[in-house]
Structure 1
Amino acid sequence: MNILCLVDFKPGLGDHWLWNDLPECNDRVDFIVAQPALNWLPGPGKVLGYYPAFVWLGVRAWAWMRNHPCDRILAWEGKNGLALACLRGLFHRQVPKMVVVGYSHRGLATVVPGLIRFAMRFVDRMVVFTHREAEYLPGTLKMNPERVVFCPLGAYDIQQVKSSSERFPNEYIYSGGRSYRDYPTLVQAMDGIECSLIINASLKDTVGLPARQNVHRLGMVPLDEYWNLIKGSLFTVIPLKDVPFAAGLIAILNAMAAGKAIIVTRLPGSEDYIEDGQTGLLVSPGNVSELHEAIAFLLNNPEERARLGRNARRQYERFYTMEAFSARIHSLLENL
């Protein structure tokens, strides 16, 4: 197959993204990359600083396909495929087949739902990473349920990353991430915990948090340092807001790959990946006392930490490697 990928990250020289993990595959893969967008702009600022990059991505893809043979289009996340899907609709084009991987119904999708419904009529498959989204999105977007597919996400094996020589000097708990995190609940839950917590998050996500002696805010660190922070921790905590779409999944999978016990907010999305008491601990959204008890339990029970971490690693190896994820996506593309 000749496959055109629409993404918002720039693959390095010789990098074929998912196809790096498909060595037997003979597909030709081309990339069109969205120009840098100002994601930090609030509300109306995104109209000028963020969304135009993805509109232009669709226009470039449309022009590219006029001169290049293409069997499939793969857009990573809805933002990278929306403009091209609209162009397909305006010109009544439904070839080549188009797949949007990692669609999440939030942001612009909730502001202009009519536009999204129109565009998705010209998308052949929408891949979501949670069962709940596969259940409610067909009704929300007026799509045939067969066109919305649940496909478990995958993550790179961070155990293969060389450990940094510089680590936090003492034992610590790790938490991090930007999207839909509930750090206020986590910081409150650390009251009376005799261990340090490292929060790896942007400043805007931690602004206003109360100061605690055992809570350290690093800001966003480079990728290799982020992976090493997870690997060096006692366990990880992923506090999430109560949202109906996928959130925190990469953080969950990175902790599983590192073989760490995980405490995560109980949401339909996290329940797809974590089995309570077997591969991690699930706690109720916004419940400070429940989160505090889970943290204290893992601190005081190192054997249980180790058991949960081993189980999580085994589950990662079975289902959530990049090789497994790439094979699932490739099979979907082939079977359209």
Structure 2
Amino acid sequence: MKWHVLTPFLQSRHEAWMTEGLVRHEFNIVPAHYEHDPLRARATVGHWADFVRQTARAHRESRRHEGLLTAFPPLALTSAALKRVTFRRGPLVAWTFNLGELYGGLKQTLARQVAGAVDVFVVHSRQEVARYSAWLGLPEDRFHYVPLGRDLQAPWLDEDRERPFVLAMGSANRDWATLLKAVERLGLRTVIVTPPRTLKGLHLPPQVELLSGLSLQECRVLCQRATLNVVPIANLQTASGQVALTEAMMMGRAVVATRCPGTEDIVRDGDTGCLVPAGDPGALAEQLQALWHDAPRRARLGAAARDHVQTHLSVAAECAQMQAVLDRWA
């Protein structure tokens, strides 16, 4: 089967992506030709116009029986809409179908009108199978859980033992209010990496430092130097925080995360990390304090976390599962 690949982050036809690890299929990358900002708050009308133009290019380049493979919900939905109006026969696979929240009203209505044209939704949390099924009014067997994979990177730095700190990174659906209450209670030095807009209206205690606009390499340095990596999540409907969580685990670091969709699929509580109840600063503070003073336990959790990522959460592991999804049309 020939697949035409639409992602917002591939800018040329020759960029490497997950498709290079798949066999028995042919892939045509349809370049985005627009700037993709993964930290933006919401997609604007201009962004949607970009998605529509990219989708139209994919349709012009493909035959009616060939497949479309999309990344993220906007391109999945624009491709589904065009598939409906052009009566395409080829399959449509929506990889990383992940919404920050389950909207109601007109957004849900429009999504339901076109989503039936998607043959398989690939989600990265088991709980999302039932939730997206109900939200879109489609059978659960249309949704396939595949753990999100990372390009493996070996750690190269140790903890900063002279100036220890707690690190939290990310922008989407972070529960900064709960984290700030917890670290203020403990007085722990804390570094938060996020766009300033996500902290609007919140008071930062004096021991909290805000950073933004860092490169991936700079984030990985902080991740390794931190005493603890924390992923506080406010979203209990869909998966959030998986990239930050997996990055810290990949670097062999102890992590504390909110128990919610996505984190429950990645962390085995007490084995590869620690999970705490949502919106509970007391429970978070208690877990942080216990790990802060227990270096041997942090080391054990970090080693188990890295082993788990290498075995189950690599790009190679994700490709093996995506291979099975696409082979339905081999």
> Same fold, TM exceeding 0.5?
yes
Query: What is the TM-score when the length of structure 1 is the normalising length?
Result: 0.88
After TM superposition, give the deviation of residue 163 of structure 1 in Å.
6.0
Partner of 1:7: 7
After TM superposition, give the deviation of residue 259 of structure 1 in Å.
0.9
C-alpha distance 38-19 of structure 1, shift in aligned 2 (>3 A): closer
Superposed CA RMSD in Å reads 2.6
Give unmatched runs, 5+ long, in structure 1: none
The correspondence for 2:83, drawn from 82, 88, 93, is 88
Letter in 2 for 1:276: D
C-alpha distance 211-108 of structure 1, shift in aligned 2 (>3 A): closer
SS in 1 for 2:268: coil
Is 2:252–2:303's contact at 8 Å kept on the other side of the alignment?
Answer: yes
C-alpha distance 105-206 of structure 1, shift in aligned 2 (>3 A): closer
Whether 1:250 aligns to 2:247 is: no
SS in 1 for 2:275: strand
1:77-121 deviation per Cα after TM superposition (whole angstroms, max 9, x unaligned): 1111211210111122231x1100111245696442222122221
Partner of 2:265: 272
Percent pairwise identity: 25
C-alpha distance 179-306 of structure 1, shift in aligned 2 (>3 A): same
Letter in 2 for 1:103: F
Give unmatched runs, 5+ long, in structure 2: none
After TM superposition, give the deviation of residue 304 of structure 1 in Å.
1.1
Partner of 2:31: 33
SS in 2 for 1:191: helix
Is 1:159–1:231's contact at 8 Å kept on the other side of the alignment?
Answer: no
C-alpha distance 52-325 of structure 1, shift in aligned 2 (>3 A): same
Whether 1:146 aligns to 2:141 is: yes
The residue correspondences of 1:1-336 to structure 2 (distance < 5 A) are 1-10=1-10, 14-22=14-22, 25=23, 27-34=25-32, 35-36=34-35, 46-66=43-63, 71-95=66-90, 97-106=91-100, 110=104, 111-159=106-154, 170-336=163-329
Write the distance in 1 (CA, Å) between the matches of 2:224 and 2:38. Answer: 29
Write the distance in 1 (CA, Å) between the matches of 2:252 and 2:36. Answer: 34
SS in 2 for 1:29: strand
1:8-45 deviation per Cα after TM superposition (whole angstroms, max 9, x unaligned): 012568433003445xx3643222233236787777xx
After TM superposition, give the deviation of residue 184 of structure 1 in Å.
1.5
Write the distance in 2 (CA, Å) between the matches of 1:106 and 1:234. Answer: 29
1:164-193 deviation per Cα after TM superposition (whole angstroms, max 9, x unaligned): 9xx897222211000000112111111243
Query: What is the TM-score when the length of structure 2 is the normalising length?
Result: 0.90
SS in 1 for 2:253: coil
Write the distance in 2 (CA, Å) between the matches of 1:243 and 1:53. Answer: 30
Aligned residues: 326
